Chain A
Amino acid sequence: MSDIEKTKEDINIDDFLFDGDEVQEIEDLREIDERDKKNLLMAGIDLEEKERSGTFLHINHSKAHCKTCTPGVEVLDIKEALDKYDSLPEYYWQAVDPKKDKYTQAVFEKLHGGYFIKTEKGAKIDKPIQSCLFIKKDKVGQNVHNIIIVEEDSELHIITGCSVAHDVKAALHLGISEIYIKKGGKLTFTMIHNWGPEVHVRPRSVCIVEEGGVFLNNYILLKPVKSAQLYPTIYLNGTGAVSTSNSILVAPPGSYLNVGGRMILNAPETRAEIISRTITTGGTIVAPGHIQGNAVPVKGHLECKGLILKDGTIHAIPELEGTVAGVELSHEAAVGKVAQEEIEYLMARGLDEDEATSTIVRGFLNVDIMGLPPELKQAIDQTIEEAGEDMF
Chain B
Amino acid sequence: MLQIQDLHVEIRGREVLKGVNLSIEKNETFILFGPNGSGKTTLLMTIMGFSNYKVTKGKIIFKGHDITYAPTYERARLGIGMSFQRPPTINGLKTRDLVRLCSRGRKIDVGLLAKKVNMEEFLDRDINQGFSGGEIKRSELLQLMAQQPKLLLFDEPESGVDLENMALIGQVAKELLGQGLQPSPEASMKKLKQLREVSGLIITHTGYILDYINADRGMVMYNGRLCCEARPRDILEHIRKYGYKECVRCLI
Contact = CB atoms under 8 A, between A and B. Distances in A.
Interface in A325-383: 339-342, 344-353, 355-356, 359-360, 362-366, 368
Given A340-B51, A347-B71, A350-B76, A364 B92 contact: yes
Given A340-B51, A359-B101, A363-B126, A347 B72 contact: yes
B104 interface: yes
A349 B73 CA distance: 7
A363 B92 contact: yes
Nearest to B104: A350
Contacts of B71: 347, 352-353
Contact of A342 (B81, B90, B147): B90
B238 interface: no
Nearest to B84: A345
B69 interface: no
Interface string B87-116: 110111100001001101000000000000
A201 B50 CA distance: 45
B51 A362 contact: no
B73 A347 contact: yes
Name, among A342, A350, A362, the residue most crowded by chain B CB atoms within 10 Å (CB to CB): A350
Contact of A348 (B72, B92, B126): B72
B46 to A, nearest CB: 13
B204 interface: no
B17 interface: no
B56 to A, nearest CB: 20
Contacts of B91: 363-364, 366
A347 B81 CA distance: 11
A349 B76 contact: yes
A356 B91 CA distance: 13
Given A351-B73, A352-B73, A363-B126, A346 B92 contact: no
A360 B50 CA distance: 18
A365 B82 CA distance: 28
Secondary structure at chain B's binding surface: helix, strand, loop or mixed? Answer: mixed
Given A345-B88, A347-B72, A359 B93 contact: yes
A351 B91 CA distance: 17
Given A347-B76, A350-B76, A350-B147, A363 B90 contact: yes
Interface residues of A, number: 24
Given A348-B82, A349-B101, A350-B102, A360 B90 contact: yes
B77 interface: yes
B202 interface: no
Contacts of A360: 90, 93
Interface string A67-93: 000000000000000000000000000
Nearest to A363: B92
B104 to A, nearest CB: 5
Nearest to B82: A348
Contacts of A348: 48, 72-73, 76, 81-82, 84
A368 B92 CA distance: 8
B136 to A, nearest CB: 12
A344 B51 contact: yes
Contacts of A349: 76, 98, 101-102, 143, 147
Contacts of A352: 71, 73
B92 A342 contact: no
Name, among B76, B90, B126, the residue most crowded by chain A CB atoms within 10 Å (CB to CB): B90
Contacts of B87: 345
B101 A346 contact: yes
Contact of B92 (A345, A350, A366): A366
Given A340-B51, A345-B84, A351 B90 contact: no
Contacts of B84: 345, 348
B199 to A, nearest CB: 17
A351 B50 CA distance: 14
A390 to B, nearest CB: 20
A18 B167 CA distance: 73
A362 B92 contact: yes
A89 B246 CA distance: 90
Contacts of B50: 344
A363 B48 contact: no
Interface string B37-78: 000000000001011000000000000000000011100110
Nearest to B72: A347
Contacts of B76: 347-350
B72 A341 contact: no
Contacts of A342: 88, 90
Given A359-B93, A363-B91, A344 B72 contact: yes
A80 B110 CA distance: 54
B90 A345 contact: yes
A347 to B, nearest CB: 4
18 contacts: A342-B88, A345-B90, A347-B73, A347-B76, A348-B48, A348-B76, A348-B81, A349-B101, A350-B76, A350-B77, A350-B101, A350-B104, A350-B147, A351-B73, A351-B101, A352-B71, A353-B71, A364-B91
Sorted nearest first, the 9 A-B pairs with minimum C-beta distance are A363-B92, A366-B92, A363-B93, A347-B72, A350-B76, A347-B73, A341-B88, A349-B102, A352-B73
Given A346-B98, A350-B147, 13 more contacts: A345-B84, A347-B72, A348-B76, A348-B82, A349-B147, A350-B76, A355-B101, A359-B93, A359-B101, A360-B90, A360-B93, A363-B90, A365-B92
Interface of A: 339-342, 344-353, 355-356, 359-360, 362-366, 368
